[in-house]
Amino acid sequence: MNSNILAPALQIRKSNCECDLEAVTALMRELNYPTTINVMRERIQASENNPKLCTMVAELDGKVIGMVALNQVRSFARSETATQVSALIVSKEHRGQGIGKRLIRNAEEWSKAQGSQTLFLISGNRVERAPAHAFYEHIGFEKIGYQFVRKLK
């Protein structure tokens, strides 16, 4: 094997609206989240300007192939601070390579640095989400409770 050939390095970094906007929008659409470039611009800029929010991307050979969005919250019912994973996406062609796990590891590091004691996420109960649920449990998340939602009119 030629030692001069380097394997592509995965880099996880905070997102940058100017560089990552189209790639993050495409990742959101890949999971059928309806969004536009303008909506994603607002979300990424909000993340850049709010210390309680963070969006990180996974980049391989200069191409964004995954992302995680975080939101630090304080519970009224508990005395702990927690961080919610509001989005975790790895492009279809790069799943199963440990990228999601690396994104979560970076999310944990950011969350601890912000003073959070818990990392949590909410996921739909559609049958097509079963592989994601298995992944979450595989990397150490515990399934607890239900989510109840009420639309505000």
93 CB neighbour count, 10 Å cutoff: 8
Domains belonging to the chain, first-starting first, are 10-138 (3.40.630.30)
Distances (CA, A) of 93 to 32, 97, 123: 16, 10, 21
pTM here? 0.86
Yes or no: say if 125 and 91 are a contact pair by the CB < 8 Å rule. Answer: no
Q: Where do we find the tokens 């492009």?
A: 91
Give 16-55 pLDDT, tens digit per residue.
Answer: 888 899 999 999 999 888 889 999 999 899 888 999 999 9
> Which residues, at least 6 apart from 115, have a Cβ–Cβ distance to it below 8 Å?
81
* 62 secondary structure, DSSP code: T
